[in-house]
Amino acid sequence: MDQSFNDTIAAIATAPGRGGVAIVRISGNQAAAILERLFYPPRDDWQSHQLYYGEIRSPRDGQILDKCLAVLFRSPASFTGEDVVELQCHGGSMVPRLLLQAVLDAGARMSEPGEFSMRAFVNGAMDLSEAEAICDIVDAKTAASASVAAVQLAGSLSNEMDKIEAELLNIMAAITVAVDFPDDADAPESESIIQRINALKQKIAKLINSAANGRVYREGIHVSLCGAVNVGKSSLLNALLQNERAIVSSAPGTTRDIIEECLNIEGVPVIISDTAGLRDTVDEAEVIGISRTQAAAAASQIIIIIIDAQNGIDSQARNLITASEEKKRLVVINKIDLNDNINDIIDKVLNMGVDNKDIVYASAKTGAGLADVLTALKDKALTADLQLQSCLISNIRHQQALIKTNQYLEDAVVTLAAGMPVDIAAIDLENAWQELGLISGKTASEELLNTIFSQFCLGK
């Protein structure tokens, strides 16, 4: 990574397409000079953080490109920590591109994806977890997902990490004393160091435990609707979406392709797939559809097995129940408007080892029981009640770094408890420090940083 950032970068920061306003963003030590070259009427009294109304003119031929609002954020009080200019111009597909071209003609270079955020990170304006939270806010699928990211952007995770890092450093310092001055009466006992490491491990474990839920909010949870033909999978999808998304017909074998839609269940993003009904068939397209069903069922985190209340438990449902023992699952007995005498079906499903609380009955036609299906899905998606305002791990990268940190801390405990030399424990702690620092980015390699920032959108 280029730490010096001699060049000035630019990009359109708003989404492409029709819109009232678009923003062209410029960052770098030439940002102010570029603004002065393009802005009309010319002025030499630019105040930081103040909007100015004027024209942007092409540096090539002086042609007026647009009327816009321009703002200069002087370093270091800007998003990237460098001089930043934002040109708020008219939206649409042409004007922002013309303005960007003018900015490039005036001396900026096109930014890479995530380059603004990377500069913010390198210049110390934010740490890596905060930069990642910006990406998560942009990608948020529900208000709750956005809220998890906003809490992280506000520094909840960074603050928690700062505390954990500080305690780890203190423990490392204590060990150093024990290594360097083993005979010093003030050198800490192994036992007291072990206690401190264990306390830290507990703190980290709490964060790791929050990851199951945090990731559900960030990434959503994949659910597949599976069962024999005609049991009402597509009808159930439509009823849950309140939208006639999938074709429903009384002919068995209607659905062939997977139909995927996103549902918002009290803030939990649920990506739900309707699939081809399972049966023995020689129809070529249907055979392909059924193999897609099997792949979707395997890939989903929750499987909903649907049974037709009129027909009772069929061989396809039996196979699905047997195959899903290790998985989160719900059994929905559908079409209870046609037959509500379902005790026999429930008994059979229970006998196959399905939990009572995982059996729901509903009618896609009348809407009866749909609220129960949604509640059961939410309960399955989240492992415990959670406070959205508290610090929540939502990123698998953070989760893995914390898991590895705790493994190294455990190694240190084992080393100390076995009475092995303290300098071996010091190495374990150093490894823990390296892992922990990946979250804030302190110990992240250039390669890792490049990988993370390159996933950001352009102009971020």
Ligand X SMILES: Nc1nc2c(ncn2[C@@H]2O[C@H](COP(=O)(O)OP(=O)(O)OP(=O)(O)O)[C@@H](O)[C@H]2O)c(=O)[nH]1
Under the rule (CB under 6 A), what is the footprint of ligand X?
229-235, 248-250, 252-255, 277, 334-335, 337-338, 363-365
Q: How far is CA 72 from CA 12, 22, 41, 458, in A?
A: 16, 16, 16, 20
Least distance (Å) from ligand X to the CB of residue 378? Answer: 21
Residues 6+ apart with CB under 8 A from 209: none
Q: Pick the closer one to ligand X by CB: 68 or 370.
A: 370
Least distance (Å) from ligand X to the CB of residue 249? Answer: 6
Residues 6+ apart with CB under 8 A from 8: 26, 27, 28, 29, 30, 31, 34, 107, 108, 109
Q: Which residue type, as a one-letter code, is found at position 49?
A: H
Q: Pick the closer one to Mg ion by CB: 129 or 255.
A: 255
Nearest to 385 by CA among 218, 264, 210, 263: 210
Please give the Cα distance from 35 to 32 (Å, whole number). Answer: 5
For residue 277, give the DSSP letter. P
390 makes contact, choosing from ligand X, Mg ion, none, with CB < 5 to 8 Å by partner type, with: none
Q: Pick the closer one to ligand X by CB: 294 or 407.
A: 294
Least distance (Å) from Mg ion to the CB of residue 314? Answer: 15
32 makes contact, choosing from ligand X, Mg ion, none, with CB < 5 to 8 Å by partner type, with: none
153 makes contact, choosing from ligand X, Mg ion, none, with CB < 5 to 8 Å by partner type, with: none
Residue 296: alpha-carbon gap to chain centroid = 21
Q: Pick the closer one to ligand X by CB: 207 or 306.
A: 306
Least distance (Å) from Mg ion to the CB of residue 234? Answer: 3
Least distance (Å) from ligand X to the CB of residue 310? Answer: 8
138 makes contact, choosing from ligand X, Mg ion, none, with CB < 5 to 8 Å by partner type, with: none
Residues 6+ apart with CB under 8 A from 215: 393, 394, 395, 396, 399
Q: Pick the closer one to ligand X by CB: 310 or 445.
A: 310
Q: Pick the closer one to Mg ion by CB: 254 or 407.
A: 254
230 makes contact, choosing from Mg ion, ligand X, none, with CB < 5 to 8 Å by partner type, with: ligand X
250 makes contact, choosing from ligand X, Mg ion, none, with CB < 5 to 8 Å by partner type, with: ligand X
What are the residues facing 84 on neighbouring strands? 27, 73
252 makes contact, choosing from ligand X, Mg ion, none, with CB < 5 to 8 Å by partner type, with: ligand X
The percent helix, strand, coil of the chain (3-state, each to 5) is 45, 15, 35
Least distance (Å) from Mg ion to the CB of residue 279? Answer: 12
249 makes contact, choosing from ligand X, Mg ion, none, with CB < 5 to 8 Å by partner type, with: ligand X
Match 């069903």 to its residue by tokens.
293
Match 């998890």 to its residue by tokens.
148
224 makes contact, choosing from Mg ion, ligand X, none, with CB < 5 to 8 Å by partner type, with: none
Nearest residue (beta carbon) to ligand X? 277
Nearest to 448 by CA among 440, 133, 138: 440
Least distance (Å) from ligand X to the CB of residue 296? Answer: 13
Least distance (Å) from ligand X to the CB of residue 228? Answer: 7
Q: Pick the closer one to Mg ion by CB: 190 or 255.
A: 255
Sign of CA dihedral 363, 367, 371, 373: positive
Nearest to 103 by CA among 55, 35, 28, 17: 35
Please give the Cα distance from 212 to 385 (Å, whole number). Answer: 11
Residues that bind Mg ion (CB under 5 A): 233-234, 254-255
Least distance (Å) from ligand X to the CB of residue 293? Answer: 9
Q: Pick the closer one to ligand X by CB: 123 or 273.
A: 273
Count the neighbouring beta carbons within 10 Å of the beta carbon of residue 16.
13
Please give the Cα distance from 157 to 122 (Å, whole number). Answer: 19
Q: Pick the closer one to ligand X by CB: 14 or 254.
A: 254
